[in-house]
Chains A and B, each alone.
Chain A
Amino acid sequence: MHVDPFGKLQSDPWFLSGLGLALLLGLAVMLGPLAAPYDPHDMSFVPLASPSAAHWLGVNDGGMDIFVELLYGLRNTVAFGMAAGGLALVLAALIGMAAAWYGGWADAVFMRLADVLLAIPAVMILIVAAAFFRPVPLSLALLLALLTWPSTAKGIRAQALVVKNRRHILASRQMGASNARIIIRHLVPELFPFYLIAFAAKARMAMFMEATLAFLGLFDPSRKSLGLMISFALKYYYLDIWWNWLLPPVFVLSLLIMAVTFLAVSLEKRFDPRLQEAL
């Protein structure tokens, strides 16, 4: 695992395309506010105007520029995905490694807890929570993380168990290294590729959820989101707006999910030990 982990990846077309898309979208996310010619909440434009030099994608029914909406919606979706993915990863890593390292009742308790959580559909809880409690998106991201850490934690635990019994770890223990030192210096870094895979998978699911919740209208209506744009554009199906209002968010959302999917798939191919020989 220490030996040139990323070598083979560089020649993998999936990785490259995923990375390319991710960089492109990342650029859009970072530079979004700078590149945006208007304020996203500015409603002063003529509603449903066609695309023009002033409005590259035209104007929506509320008088807001669609291109700017797209940029800000992308940001929100990515932010939600990163937050939920990151939080889920941190939780899963902590719990998974603790379970693997300490074993015993800690392991049993956490794994049973994970099983129970796996038996609960996350979508349902999210929808009910979003509708009734109207929390800020960050809280929803946290909730999602709290519901989805189990599968990743199990994976991390399994990996940690394998690594735990490797020679250099046993050697460290023999030499008297403390638990903390071993975990931090050895366990955590060695599982690194697994984190990438897990993060990609969780972020992908979170972004998907964000778009779904926004589409269903469960976020604050003034919060820009790709899902919300799609839902609004669909209402005006009878106008000729499918190509400048409906298609862009669908396209961007697809590109986003695809980017993360390609990255996840290529990383999995390279690093998931079970699939080492298979692909």
Chain B
Amino acid sequence: MRKTLMAIWLVLALSVPAAAQISEIRIADTTGDWGYPNAFRHYPRGPGYVRMSWVFDTLVWKDENGYVPGLARTWSFYPKIMAFAFELHPKAKWHDGRAVTADDVVFTISYFKKHPYGWISLDHVDRAEAKGPHQVVIRLTKPYAPFISDVGGTMPILPRHIWEKVDQPQAFDAPEAFIGSGPYRFKDFNKAQGTYLYEAFADHHLGRPRAERLIYVRSGKPLVSLATGEVDLANIQPEMAEPLRQKGMAIIQDERGWVKKLMINHKKPPFDDRRFRQALAHALNRQEIIDRSQRGFGTPASYGLLSLDHEMYNPDTPVYAHDPEKARALIAGLGYTKGADGILQREGRPLKVELLSSHITVGGQSVADRDGEVIKKQLEAVGLVVDLVNLEQATTDSKVKNWGFDLAVSGHGGISGDARILNEMISSQFGAGSVNSARYDANLELARLLDAQIPEMDVVKRKLLVQRIQVFHAEDLPAIPLYHPQSMAAYNPQKGIQWFFTRGGISKGVPIPQNKMALLR
């Protein structure tokens, strides 16, 4: 009798779904090396930030629906004193066992003021004060609309007891440099192999993470890696979706958080004339670019630069239809005539432009860029002479930064994140350091609007301003947004984790489905 009972109990115990604890999760990445996972060592691109986000928590975080608590349990804004108050989770701990307190937040802000972190801006922050062990008030000098996204959701909190003695954060590579309050401890990073190993931090205040170990593996063939079970999550090309679905994988698709852009050197004639830039827009056939270069997977972008899925997207942004005749007419209006060979020329000199093209990282993957070839053909059909130069991304970036180019094909994420991205990508005041910024200051009204949207704390009023900014961008075209490539990922649902694309992107707008919340549910 007893034996039978034991047997029944055993069968029941074994047939009950296994505890939600998984031994390891493996994630595939084509590049591999994104730098060491702390604020000063990770590479300045999305995947680099994500590698750090496992180890370091921010005050606020996001999931697929919007903002959720991070280190802070609650937060509120006090317009009268222009300050944000955060109440930290009392159980929050550092990986070395010490408690996370308001002092750490205060210290982090003053430390980042001294040693700037490129992903956030503390210009509008006056100072932070600890009002209690877990209450912190951050005072602003001026109103700052992107505060929750920026300081709240992107700024990693550093442990004071470790970093207060560090004068050279970039050189600090002792093991303590990686002590954070995030759900995972950093264990190992092999630069040559491009692999990362993290181990679960059982005492995390939001609960023990579901996977004991988190491993990044470098794999150039996500379809195979997923199908053979070598990895549990990978970014995929759209054509891989069906075969993977048949193998039982779950497929998720991102909102349109990444945009391909044609950078223009608007400091140089004839690109300095708005009409010429508009002519270029008419000359381009963006759907053709999508069909040829992305095999049809993509959506034409808004000329206002902001993502079509953004809350503040303006559907009435001006559009430039593919119209080669109009393009020619506009250019003719600038004094160019069509020569016998069909090439536009002025004063005997043909209209020659140099187009830079390169390998680009999209959502963490490196892809060859065919856009350049298609754009070249489209511009040549209108009568320009186009010299297509294929360079590596770093070289293109540096040429663009130094204004050593005519046109360049580029791209970036963040366009579904906070509308501050428009400031970064349009004006040189905010975008001086970015290789994706148009650095366009010629339109005073546009500049005024950009300045006005940052301190506008009223969401409705801010939306109006942002929508007008998009219209101006579309009219002036400091850069021409081309399209949003289709970004998809696949994961193995049998592991019990449901990965998702974050609404608005991780932190500032990183369109990668590696959100730590998926492992904390």
Contacts and interface: CB of A to CB of B under 8 A. Distances in A.
A190 interface: no
Contacts of A46: 291
Interface stretch (B68-76, B236-244, B343-351): B236-244
B237 A238 contact: yes
Contacts of B221: 237-238
Contacts of B374: 43
A241 to B, nearest CB: 10
B373 interface: yes
B373 A43 contact: yes
Contacts of A48: 295
A193 B224 CA distance: 50
A32 interface: no
A238 B377 contact: no
B373 A238 contact: no
Contacts of B291: 46-47
B187 to A, nearest CB: 32
Contacts of B295: 47-48, 61
B446 interface: no
Interface in B242-256: 243
A230 to B, nearest CB: 15
A238 B390 contact: no
Contact of B239 (A62, A63, A238): A238
Contact of A61 (B224, B243, B370): B370
Given A43-B377, A62-B373, A221-B390, A239 B292 contact: no
A238 B291 CA distance: 19
B219 to A, nearest CB: 13
A239 B291 CA distance: 16
B240 A238 contact: yes
A238 B292 contact: no
B223 interface: yes
The A interface is mostly helix, strand or loop, or mixed, namely: loop
A238 to B, nearest CB: 4
A263 B390 CA distance: 41
Interface string B360-378: 0000000000100110010
Nearest to A222: B390
Interface string A33-54: 0000000000110111000000
Interface string B255-288: 0000000000000000000000000000000000
Interface in B385-405: 390
Contacts of A221: 390
A43 B373 CA distance: 8
Contacts of A63: 292
A240 to B, nearest CB: 9
A238 B243 contact: yes
Contacts of A239: 239
A128 B390 CA distance: 21
B285 to A, nearest CB: 13
Most buried by B among A46, A221, A238, A239: A238
Given A47-B292, A237-B223, A239-B239, A62 B370 contact: yes
Nearest to B373: A43
A63 B289 CA distance: 12
A63 B374 CA distance: 10
Contacts of A47: 291-292, 295
B370 A238 contact: no
A238 B247 CA distance: 13
Contacts of A62: 370, 373
B115 to A, nearest CB: 38
B360 to A, nearest CB: 15
A36 B244 CA distance: 38
Interface in B500-515: none
Nearest to A238: B223
Contacts of B223: 237-238
Contacts of B373: 43, 62
Interface in B292-314: 292, 295
Nearest to A239: B239
Contacts of B377: 43-44
Nearest to B242: A238
A235 to B, nearest CB: 8
Contacts of A238: 221, 223, 237, 239-240, 243
B353 to A, nearest CB: 19
A44 B390 CA distance: 19
Interface in B65-113: none
B249 to A, nearest CB: 13
Interface string A127-149: 00000000000000000000000
Interface in B459-506: none
A44 B285 CA distance: 14
Interface in A58-88: 61-63
A62 B291 CA distance: 11
A62 B357 CA distance: 15
A46 B288 CA distance: 10
Nearest to A48: B295
A48 B237 CA distance: 14
B222 to A, nearest CB: 8
Interface string B194-218: 0000000000000000000000000
Contacts of B237: 238
Contacts of B370: 61-62
Contacts of B224: 237
A5 B376 CA distance: 58
Interface in A193-251: 221, 237-239
A238 B226 CA distance: 12
Interface string B221-234: 10110000000000
Nearest to B243: A238
Contacts of A61: 295, 370
A44 B377 CA distance: 9
A221 B370 CA distance: 12
Nearest to B222: A238
Interface string A90-128: 000000000000000000000000000000000000000
Interface string A158-178: 000000000000000000000
A99 B95 CA distance: 75
A136 B374 CA distance: 26
Nearest to A63: B292
B395 to A, nearest CB: 14
A63 B291 CA distance: 10
In the A-B complex, list the 9 residue pairs whose CB atoms are closest, starting with the nearest.
A238-B223, A238-B240, A239-B239, A47-B292, A63-B292, A62-B370, A47-B295, A43-B373, A48-B295
26 contacts: A43-B292, A43-B373, A43-B374, A43-B377, A44-B377, A46-B291, A47-B291, A47-B292, A47-B295, A48-B295, A61-B295, A61-B370, A62-B370, A62-B373, A63-B292, A221-B390, A237-B221, A237-B223, A237-B224, A238-B221, A238-B223, A238-B237, A238-B239, A238-B240, A238-B243, A239-B239
Given A44-B377, A61-B370, 10 more contacts: A43-B292, A43-B373, A43-B377, A47-B292, A47-B295, A62-B370, A62-B373, A237-B221, A237-B224, A238-B239
